[in-house]
């Protein structure tokens, strides 16, 4: 059978591929070369409204399908994603810049959420509550929320979509997505596979737009009374705005927002494991990861050994176009992100940090940046207070456990935290003390479909993945049956 083409350059509304009402488009750029890969529609409020109305029309039939039948379609989507991994990964590398191997990894992760939710759809159990009187029976059921919308970022252009759309669709909701300006192609490719998998028209829709269209699309999504829930991944600033906009119609929100993850290495840690963990967590996707360690705190006794080993390994990271064999780190997504990384490094240097390796724009030019390790990082530096979102490991030394915890928690963010220790008492103590939604103890590999991904404090509300992730797209309803004893 002939394969469906995945390089789609139109929006997807009510089961049809379509342009914008006024025919305007914007260019999607390859960050490694600066070349335009495709032109995609600049949609706005009217196209978004149509997509929401299509999702509303499709809702009754989709919601009423037995969970097992919905799950079969979601599972077929998963199988198609897996079959087309190489094509999807190539599209992702082209528009996002991460090396192909990493892109394949993201497709596998994103697909795993789809598989998980396809299976979980049949296991949405309610409760029967022991009655307070012989005349009544109390029953709790979980029902799909209704029409849902999602807004996703560019750093994980596949997995952030499947992490929202697959639980929503499996739960019986219908869905309208707005992907990031920089990476709409990965999302549109997912829509092509959703169409092939057999989702009825209107169940899954995508509207595209550039940075200047995003507020208009977002306003329609958040103001339209048909929409019952918003799932958003992105910056804390935009998350707060969308939450405020959702207040007028009291929509449910899930917000996966910015992080400022601490990574603590205690004197009793396996230093080699900590170095490998820091390398994997910090330099993946050129550091453009919400759960990437942003502040590395290393206890005085192992500080020098850790710095020497990490510096040596970071200096060997091969930077290049993600499509080229052997590239281990691609460019930053765009000029704005590149300037932020440079500003953080310059600010740290000015305030006394030392460069162990890197510290400059990469010789390849464009938005490529040297993988960088800094020491002598202090709390007043930008790098300690804002998400750098780049390949810069800023290290500070500390003396006591209490100090490390105080520094780690000195932030409004609370997404992920990591620490390395071989002391079991300390492992429990520190895990409980860190104010983050997720904690990696002797491992940076925390994200998978079976765990509840999400933050506390200003890093967000709600969870994605696990049984909790599916429940975010449902609401609890309660039936009280009276007159039973008559
Ligand atoms: P962003 O600027 O907040 O953008 C995220 C999405 O929101 C994009 O689709 C963007 O559209 C859209 N958007 C921007 N302004 C909007 C508005 N006024 N109304 C409606 N939509 C709007 O974030 P980003 O720079 O793309 O992504 C990086 C951020 O995401 C980081 O802070 C990172 O930590 C966070 N993140 C968090 C998680 C998590 O799970 N907690 C995961 C990944 C990333 P355009 O692209 O068209 O502007």
Ligand 1: nearest atom to the Cα of 241: 18
pLDDT, position 2: 76
Closest of 410, 185, 212 to residue 294, by C-alpha: 410
**How far apart are the C-alpha atoms of 307 and 312, rounded to whole Å?**
8
- Going from the Cα of 235 to the center of ligand 1, the distance in angstroms, rounded, reads 5
pLDDT, position 224: 98
- Going from the Cα of 95 to the center of ligand 1, the distance in angstroms, rounded, reads 16
- Going from the Cα of 480 to the center of ligand 1, the distance in angstroms, rounded, reads 42
| Mutation to probe ligand 1, out of 219, 227, 238, 241 (largest number of atoms < 8 A from CB) | 238
Minimal-distance CA residue to ligand 1 atom 39: 256
Helix (H) or strand (E) holding 114: helix 100-120
| Mutation to probe ligand 1, out of 25, 156, 186, 214 (largest number of atoms < 8 A from CB) | 214
pLDDT, position 285: 98
Ligand 1: nearest atom to the Cα of 453: 40
Minimal-distance CA residue to ligand 1 atom 4: 234
Minimal-distance CA residue to ligand 1 atom 22: 214
**How far apart are the C-alpha atoms of 85 and 111, rounded to whole Å?**
9
CB 81 within 8 A of CB 107: yes
Distances in Å between the alpha carbon of 57 and those of 147, 352, 376? 10, 60, 59
The structure tokens 């996966």 sit at: 256
Ligand 1: nearest atom to the Cα of 179: 9
- DSSP symbol at 359: -
The structure tokens 């599209």 sit at: 91
Minimal-distance CA residue to ligand 1 atom 46: 180
**Which tens digits make up the pLDDT trace of 202-223?**
999 999 999 999 999 999 999 9
pLDDT, position 1: 63
Minimal-distance CA residue to ligand 1 atom 13: 214
| Mutation to probe ligand 1, out of 27, 28, 153, 159 (largest number of atoms < 8 A from CB) | 153
Minimal-distance CA residue to ligand 1 atom 43: 290
What amino acid positions are annotated as catalytic residues? 256, 290
Q: Which residues line ligand 1 (CB under 6 A)?
A: 151-156, 178, 180-181, 210-211, 214-215, 218, 233-235, 238, 241-242, 256-259, 290, 387, 415, 455, 460
- Going from the Cα of 121 to the center of ligand 1, the distance in angstroms, rounded, reads 28
Closest of 71, 213, 245, 96 to residue 160, by C-alpha: 96
Ligand 1: nearest atom to the Cα of 258: 34
Ligand 1: nearest atom to the Cα of 209: 47
| Mutation to probe ligand 1, out of 28, 235, 288 (largest number of atoms < 8 A from CB) | 235
- Going from the Cα of 256 to the center of ligand 1, the distance in angstroms, rounded, reads 9
Closest of 204, 210, 250 to residue 52, by C-alpha: 204
**How far apart are the C-alpha atoms of 164 and 159, rounded to whole Å?**
9
**How far apart are the C-alpha atoms of 274 and 420, rounded to whole Å?**
6
- DSSP per residue, 390-419: SSEEEEEEES-HHHHHHHHH-SSEESEEEE
Angle at the Cα of 86 from the Cα atoms of 82 and 90, rounded to 5 degrees: 130
- Going from the Cα of 219 to the center of ligand 1, the distance in angstroms, rounded, reads 15
Q: What is the CA radius of gyration of the chain?
A: 23
Consecutive sets of 10 residues in the chain, 486 residues long: mean pLDDT of each?
A: 89 98 98 98 98 98 97 98 98 98 98 98 94 90 98 98 98 98 98 98 98 98 98 98 98 97 98 98 97 97 98 98 97 97 98 98 98 97 96 98 98 98 98 98 97 98 96 97 87
- Going from the Cα of 255 to the center of ligand 1, the distance in angstroms, rounded, reads 10
Ligand 1: nearest atom to the Cα of 259: 34
- Going from the Cα of 271 to the center of ligand 1, the distance in angstroms, rounded, reads 35
């Amino acid at each position: 059978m002939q394969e469906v083409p995945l390089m789609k350059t139109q929006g997807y509304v009510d089961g049809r591929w379509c342009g914008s009402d006024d025919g305007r488009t914007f260019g999607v750029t390859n960050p490694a070369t600066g070349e335009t890969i495709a032109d995609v529609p600049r949609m706005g409020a009217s196209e978004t409204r149509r997509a929401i109305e299509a999702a509303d029309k499709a809702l009754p039939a989709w919601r009423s399908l037995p969970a097992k039948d919905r799950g079969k379609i979601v599972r077929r989507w998963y199988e198609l994603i897996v079959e087309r991994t190489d094509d999807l990964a190539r599209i992702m590398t082209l528009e996002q810049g991460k090396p192909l191997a990493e892109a394949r990894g993201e497709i596998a992760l994103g697909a795993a959420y789809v598989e998980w939710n396809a299976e979980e759809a049949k296991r949405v159990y309610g409760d029967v509550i022991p009655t307070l009187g012989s005349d009544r029976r109390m029953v709790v059921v979980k029902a799909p929320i209704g029409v849902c919308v999602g807004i996703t970022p560019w750093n994980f252009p596949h997995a952030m979509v499947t992490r929202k759309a697959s639980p929503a669709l499996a739960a019986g909701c219908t869905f309208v997505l707005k992907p990031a300006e920089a990476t709409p192609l990965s999302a549109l490719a997912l829509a092509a596979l959703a169409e092939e998998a057999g989702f009825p028209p209107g169940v899954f829709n995508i509207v595209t737009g550039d940075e200047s269209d995003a507020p208009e699309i977002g306003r329609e999504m958040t103001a339209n009374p048909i929409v019952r829930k918003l799932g958003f991944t992105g910056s804390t600033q935009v998350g707060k705005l969308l939450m405020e906009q959702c207040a007028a119609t009291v929509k449910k929100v899930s917000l996966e927002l910015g992080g400022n993850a601490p990574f603590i290495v205690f004197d009793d840690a396996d230093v080699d494991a900590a170095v490998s963990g820091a390398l994997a967590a910090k330099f993946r996707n050129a550091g453009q990861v919400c759960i990437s360690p942003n502040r590395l705190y290393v206890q005085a006794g192992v500080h020098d050994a850790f710095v020497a080993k990490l510096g040596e390994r970071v200096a060997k990271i091969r930077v290049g176009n993600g499509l080229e064999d052997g590239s281990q780190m691609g460019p930053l997504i765009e000029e704005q992100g590149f300037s932020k990384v440079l500003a953080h490094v310059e600010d740290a240097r000015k305030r006394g940090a030392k460069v162990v390796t890197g510290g400059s724009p990469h010789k390849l030019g464009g938005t490529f940046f040297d993988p960088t390790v800094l020491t002598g990082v202090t709390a007043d530096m930008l790098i300690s207070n804002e998400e750098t979102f780049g390949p810069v490991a800023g290290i500070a030394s500390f003396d006591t456990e209490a100090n490390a915890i105080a520094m780690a928690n000195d932030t409004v963010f609370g997404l992920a935290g990591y620490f390395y220790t071989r002391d079991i008492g300390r492992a429990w103590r520190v895990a409980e003390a860190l104010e983050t939604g997720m904690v990696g103890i002797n491992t940076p590999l925390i994200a998978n479909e079976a765990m509840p991904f999400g933050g506390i404090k200003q890093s967000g509300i709600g969870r994605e993945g696990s049984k909790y992730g599916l429940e975010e797209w449902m609401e609890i309803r309660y039936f009280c049956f009276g007159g039973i004893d008559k």
